[in-house]
Amino acid sequence: MVFSSPVFLFYFLPFVLLLYYACYRRIYWQNVILFLSSFLFYFWGEKEYSVLVMISIMLNYGLGILIAGPHTDTIKRIILFAGATINLSFLIYFKYYHFFVHELLSVFHIGSSETMSTAIHLPLGISFFTFHGLTYITDIYRTEAEVSRNPMNVGLYILFFPQLIAGPIVRYKDIDQQLTARVLTNEKLRLGVRRFIIGLAKKILIANTLGKVADDIYGLGTPHLTFSLSWLASICYTLQIYYDFSGYSDMAIGLARMFGFEFLENFNFPYSATSMKDFWRRWHISLSTFFRDYVYKPLGGNRVSVWATYRNLLFVFFLTGLWHGASWNFIIWGLFHGLFLVIERLGFETFLQRMPTWLRHVYTLLIVMVGWVFFRIENLEDCWNVLQKMCYLHPVSTGIYSVGYFMHFKTWLTLLIAILFVFPVHERFFPSFAQKAYWVYDVVYVGLFILSLWFLSASTYNPFIYYRF
């Protein structure tokens, strides 16, 4: 069940909201309703693998109580280490076992071909609910959050359906108070609905439209690609992944607000960044802050020697790439970003500061777009061929297809709108207008919702990109 499906929009969400608001000011029963509906939401897509989420909940609930107990700091560290190991073992087995066997052990001819060819089912959202379990026990160990003696609250934190499948990664210390005390208001409901509609429009109207163009072009194969088609596919995918994932985050934040929760922002116009360092302060903020606080800083961060800092950066971005998928292209994508962060730390950042702002934008976008090619194309040979086409180092093409074959009026219009709104244009033009005609906003949101439903009913749609991570 995805947020942009009719089942969710017209059956699941209205029914859950009706039950939830029927228990107004009864926080216990509201949590029960959210927990059961979240379990149903996950069971809808994963069936028997729902047991894995329940195991994660009970495991981390018990570990939290042990860590908060009257033990010495050494014992608590041992419990935390054991808990982190068990949590990560689930993730490593389901997400990376096949990769390690097929890609690493096959080099040494260890393991049968039958073993290496057998793929393991990847449970939906396993990266996200594993990280939630880790933040729960770690925040308790650091005394940054109070342990919960109520397994329902721990279960709701890990299982809450708005962020269960594709984030954002919600830190336990940011939500622990909201699990036991939150206020429902008409304003929160209204703002939540608005935010959800924005996310739905991003996904249905922009991401799906441009995603089809990118998929069709990449699906041609490199012999048919030209310089212009390669760049068009890259531009469309760059915009698709932003509107797809930020759209999901908007929907998750909006849904949480409808139920009285406040999630932190996950995107801050990353394509308006003026450096790679700035980009990672704006892109998937919950993931970058997770790695910063739970990996980078414990390794010493930038408090160690210069070269150790560079090592820590590269290691963190190696993990960032690996987190996205068990494939070499994701690892290369992560290290590619880490390399440019190191280059900027080596002194290029000072040079960037002397450049005109528009040139710094161009530099950042070019790096990001080249990186998305690694992210999008799993086969490294095909990836290299596409990059050669983009640099006009491999101009040979069949010439059968042209840009006009894929771009029509609707797609051109969508592309222009998508490019415009990756920048915070609303902050410059809309506030003064909103004070004079506030009701226009409601009309716009209703129009966006109707238009999204129209597009949804008129065409097939693809799942959210980050569902597979």
Known catalytic residues? 324
Count the residues in the chain: 469
CA 326 vs. chain centroid, Å, equals 16
Q: Which residues contact 259 (CB under 8 A, 6 or more apart)?
A: 17, 20, 30, 34, 162, 184, 192
Closest CA to 444 of 461, 422, 426: 426
Nearest to 123 by CA among 80, 159, 174: 159
Residue 377 backbone class (left: φ over 0; alpha: ψ -120 to 50; beta: rest): beta
Written as one letter, the residue type at 445 is Y
> Residue 298, preceding bond cis, omega within 30 degrees?
no
Neighbours of 84 (CB within 10 A): 18
287, 334 Cβ separation under 8 angstroms: no
* Whole-angstrom distance, CA of residue 90 vs CA of residue 92: 6
